[in-house]
Amino acid sequence: MSANAVTRIFVPGDMLAIALGAGELVKELQKQAEIRNTSIEIIRNGSRGMCWAETLLEVQTNAGRVAYGNVKATDVNSLFEAGFLNGGDHEKALGQTEEIPWLAEQQRVIFNRCGIIDPLSLGEFQDSGGFIGLRKALQISPAQIVEQVTRSGLRGRGGAGFPTGIKWQTVLDTAGAIKHIVCNADEGDSGTFSDRLIMEGDPFRLIEGMIIAGLAVRAEQGVIYLRSEYPFAVKMMRAAIEMAEAENWLGKNIQGSGKTFNMEVFVGAGSYVCGEETALLESLEGKPGIVRSKPPLPAIAGLFGQPTVINNVITLCAVPDILAKGGDWHASLGIGRSTGTLPFQLAGNVAKGGLVELPFGVSLQKVVDDFAGGTKDGSKIRAVQVGGPLGAYLPPELFDTLTGYEEFAAIGAGIGHGGIVIYGSSINMREQAKYAFEFCAEESCGKCTPCRIGSIRGYELLGAEQIDKSLIDDLCEVMIEGSACAMGAMTPIPVQSLMRYWPEDFAEDIKAKS
Amino acid sequence: MHDWNDQHALQIIADCAKNGQVLTSALRQLVDNFGYIDDASIAPLAKAFLRSKAEVYGTIQYYSDFRDSAPAEHVLRICQAESCQAVGSKKITKLVTTKTGIALGQTSSDGQISLEPVYCLGLCANGPAAEFDGNPVAELDEAKIDKILSGIRS
């Protein structure tokens, strides 16, 4: 490398890196480079999903990208001293990024370029396979696009697991002068952040997926319902939409195809239940996010009563590769009726948390053993909660369960949005059960009695001196059978799994007090 | 952030209605501009968006982002959801309430700081997570809390 060559340095600009001081790190890098009269170019990439190593600094060397983990502004001086611009050794060096086992052992499809490219470079996006799926979709009929998605076996990644092809077919078959593509980016489940990472790290992928969805069902407008807790994603998506418009990937006559698609971002206002699709539609219409009764299905009468596709971010982000490589390719990945890959998210009390994308069918044990690296506090893993606040808590004895929609349903659990929250030995299961009801009471939209009142009664029952298990089970049955949506109907899942697998935590208090 | 201004608020409401935006879009812009939605805007909002005043009020009350009173000078939001609980968010919240002398959901008597719960910031692998004056904070510990609080007091 010549003395005057500009070295490219990658410092993620995503919300987590910023929360860990990446802003100060960049300033220090610039300052020290100036002092040393060295030319550097800092690229604010997205995150590689290796949250345990953030802020992950990478340097482009002749031999590839070299990584340094957990870098702080205070490390900059010693990094320069160690010759990091040429990949020099340092206590924080992680070696060649692509060879880090935690990344190398994943099978990344949806996250193939996240953290690698400049998120707002349409050139880098296309150089790494971007828009191949869209170009294909522009050449075939809506029915042919839907057929590929149906063949792929893709199911909704938001949690419900509904077959995407069937949803799209319904909207395509429904007459309507105006149809909508709504992207559900209200990622409110604790322990999940895959939507955030992809929107901040590869926003054009979501745009590509939404345009394809529009072409498939003859919809010309799309909206991303994005939670206000993700201000960085809001900014990134808006900037990407503007660039796509400027380059005619959005708007009228896309790339001379005669097809039209417009997109916008709608920011939520801090309501968890708006992640439920009908509450989300109400919210988009400017009303309180109170769930609607189904039928009619949103596919028939959705946003403003018009036919609407509502898909989760990751579902839409899976679509470009399905078009590019074919539905059969996607169907060949995974297990049974759970096809393709799932970006798992390891969170909570975890040593090596982050995003792990693997085909369905890998055991929960393998995800935990090969990637989590145990708990953060070094204690034994007591439980994992899979699928967000409405997901089951599972004991280590069940970790041999294979990750798939049916496989999880068979043990009374759900794979949800792929979030895995790990708990160590200090966690009290009765408190977690109480919290499940408390959260439901806080976030209930109030439309139906089982959820609105049941959640409060449940919280009280678990706080009582004597736990009346049969009464709690009764209450859970009423909530499961009688609630209008998943909020009330699924809150009993964490509660009952906790009482089933850790009865000792529910007996302790009673003994102590008697 | 600007102080509440009736004229400015009316302009925002009129612009949103004219552009065919929905009620909550106007509420979002009011909050982004003034930090809260003053009761004075309920009647004009109802008129502009063809809703009853009760419907406008109900919509404001439904969403936690739509405050109906001015926020404190500084706002510290601490995540209370499961992932952060797994790494001691309750303990850290308690520490903050002890240091500030106010409970979660309250504002200090001098109007300097509000403590608020938030349910997930998407920083779940690096909890406990928080947000101070709109800036994300991960791996919240006592040192970071002290730094935040000393900045307020000085």
- Pairwise CA distance, residues A458 & A471, whole Å: 9
Q: Verify whether the Cβ–Cβ distance A347 to B125 is below 8 Å.
A: yes
The pLDDT of A319-323, averaged and rounded, is 98
* A32 pLDDT tier (thresholds 50, 70, 90): very high
Q: Do A345 and B124 touch (CB under 8 A)?
A: yes
Give the count of beta carbons closer than 10 Å to the beta carbon of residue A68.
25
Q: Does A85 have pLDDT greater than 60? A: yes
Distance of residue A483 Cα from the nearest chain B Cα, in angstroms: 19
Cβ–Cβ gap A16/B86 under 8 Å: no
Residue A202, min C-alpha distance to chain B (Å): 17
Total beta-carbon pairs less than 8 A apart between chain A and chain B: 141
The per-residue pLDDT of chain A, averaged, comes to 96
ipTM of the complex: 0.96
Q: Which of B27, B66, B124 faces A190 most closely, judged by CB atoms?
A: B124
Residue B152, pLDDT score: 84
Q: CATH for A130-332?
A: 3.40.50.11540
Residue A4 pLDDT grade (very low, low, confident, very high; cuts 50, 70, 90): low
Q: Is the pLDDT of residue B153 over 80?
A: no
Question: Taking CB atoms and an 8 Å cutoff, what residues of chain B touch A15?
Answer: 121-123, 136
Residues A380 and B99: their CA atoms lie apart, in Å, by 32
Closest CA to A311 of A157, A131, A134: A157
CATH topology of domain A429-513: de novo design (two linked rop proteins) (1.20.1440)
Quick check: B119 and A190 CB within 8 A?
yes
Q: Name every chain A residue with its beta carbon within 8 A of the beta carbon of B68.
A: none
Subunit contact B83:A347, Cβ cutoff 8 A: yes
Which residue is it, tokens 């006559």?
A253
When CB atoms are compared, the residue of A16, A195, A439 closest to B126 is A16
* A272 interfacial to chain B (CB closer than 8 Å): yes
Confidence of residue B2 (pLDDT cuts 50, 70, 90): confident
At residue A339, does pLDDT exceed 70?
Answer: yes
* pLDDT tens-digit series, residues A441-461: 999 999 999 999 999 999 999
Look at A353 and B125 and tell me if their CB atoms are within 8 Å.
Answer: yes
Contacts of residue B104, defined as CB under 8 A and 6 or more positions apart, other chains included, come to: B78, B80, B93, B97, B115, B116, B117
Chain B contacts in chain A segment 397-456 (CB below 8 A): 419, 421-424, 427, 432, 435, 439, 442-443, 445
- Residue A514 banded pLDDT, cuts 50, 70, 90: very low
pLDDT given for residue A253 in this prediction: 98
Query: Tens digits of per-residue pLDDT, A187-203?
Result: 999 999 999 999 999 99
pLDDT digits (tens, 9 = 90+) for B23-70: 999 999 999 999 999 999 999 999 999 999 999 999 999 999 999 999
Measured over the CA atoms of residue B114, residue B115, residue B117 and residue B122, the dihedral's sign is positive
Out of A20, A435, A439, the one facing B138 most closely (by C-beta) is A20
As a whole number of angstroms, the distance between CA A134 and CA A250 comes to: 12
Residue boundaries of the structural domains of chain A: 7-104, 130-332, 339-423, 429-513
Predicted pLDDT at A5: 78
- For residue A296, the cross-strand partners are none
Q: Tokens 């759900």 — which residue?
A: A414
* Residue of A25, A229, A264, A282 to mutate for B, most B C-beta atoms under 10 A: A229
Residue A1 has pLDDT above 50, yes or no: no
Sorted by where each begins, the domain ranges of chain B are 6-62, 74-153
Distances (CA, A) of A216 to A143, A149, A168, A204, A289: 7, 10, 7, 18, 28
Summary count for chain A: helices (H), strands (E): 23, 16
Strand stretches in A251-353, DSSP E:
262-267, 308-312, 334-335, 338-339, 341-348
Percent of chain A residues topping a pLDDT of 90:
95
Q: Which two tokens stand for residue A436?
A: 């499940």
> Scanning every residue of chain B, which has its alpha carbon at the shortest distance from the alpha carbon of A195?
B122
Average pLDDT over residues A26-44: 97
Rounded CA-CA distance B103/B97 in Å is 5
**Residues in chain B, overall count:** 154
Residue from B21, B45, B76, B124 whose CB has the most chain A CBs within 10 Å, to mutate: B124
**Test the A interface: residue of B49, B60, B61, B62 with most A CBs within 10 Å:** B62
Question: Span B74-153: which CATH code?
Answer: 3.40.30.10
Rounded to whole angstroms, the Cα distance separating A403 from A419 reads 12
Q: Chain B residues with CB-CB distance to A under 8 A?
A: 21-25, 27-28, 49, 58-59, 62-66, 79, 81-87, 118-127, 129, 134-139
Whether the predicted pLDDT of B119 surpasses 80: yes
The pLDDT, as a whole number, for residue B154 is 53
Inter-chain touch B64–A269, beta carbons under 8 Å: yes
- Rounded to whole angstroms, the maximal C-alpha distance in chain B is 51
Task: State CA A131 to chain mean position distance.
Answer: 21
Element (H, E) at A102: helix A101-104
A508 pLDDT higher than 60: no
HEC secondary structure over A452-506:
HCHHHHHHHHHHCCCCCHHHHHHHHHHHHHHCCCHHHHHCHHHHHHHHHHCHHHH
Contact between residue A204 and residue A240 where contact means Cβ atoms under 8 Å apart: yes
- Are A432 and B82 inside 8 Å of each other by CB? yes
Closest CA to A195 of A203, A362, A280: A203
CATH architecture of structural domain A7-104: 3-Layer(aba) Sandwich (3.40)
Interface mutation target, options B45, B51, B83, chain A, most CBs of A under 10 Å: B83
Using a CB-CB cut-off of 8 Å, the residues of chain A touching B79 are 190
- Name every chain A residue with its beta carbon within 8 A of the beta carbon of B28: 267, 269
Instruction: Average the pLDDT over A301-314 and give the result.
Output: 98
Between the CA of residue A226 and those of A197, A273, A352, A413, B105, what are the distances in Å? 13, 13, 27, 27, 25
Model pLDDT for residues A118-134, shown as the tens digit of each residue: 999 999 999 999 999 99
Q: Does A220 touch chain B (CB under 8 A)?
A: no
Q: Give B140's contacts in chain A (Cβ within 8 Å).
A: none
| Closest residue, chain B, to A345 (C-alpha) | B125
Confidence of residue A159 (pLDDT cuts 50, 70, 90): confident
- Report how far residue A414's alpha carbon sits from residue A395's, in angstroms, rounded to the nearest whole number: 14
Q: Does A16 touch chain B (CB under 8 A)?
A: yes
What are A342-353's pLDDT values in tens digits? 999 999 999 999
Q: Is residue A386 within 8 Å of A419, Cβ to Cβ?
A: yes
How are beta strands A308-312 and B74-79 bridged, if at all?
unpaired
* pLDDT confidence tier of residue A507, bands split at 50, 70 and 90: confident
Going by the DSSP 8-state scheme, the letter that residue A49 receives in this structure is: S
A267 near B CB under 8 A = yes
Q: Out of 3.10.20.600, 3.90.950.20, 3.40.50.620, 3.50.50.60, which CATH number does the structure's domain A339-423 have?
A: 3.10.20.600
**A421 to chain B: which residues are within 8 Å by CB?**
82-83, 86, 124
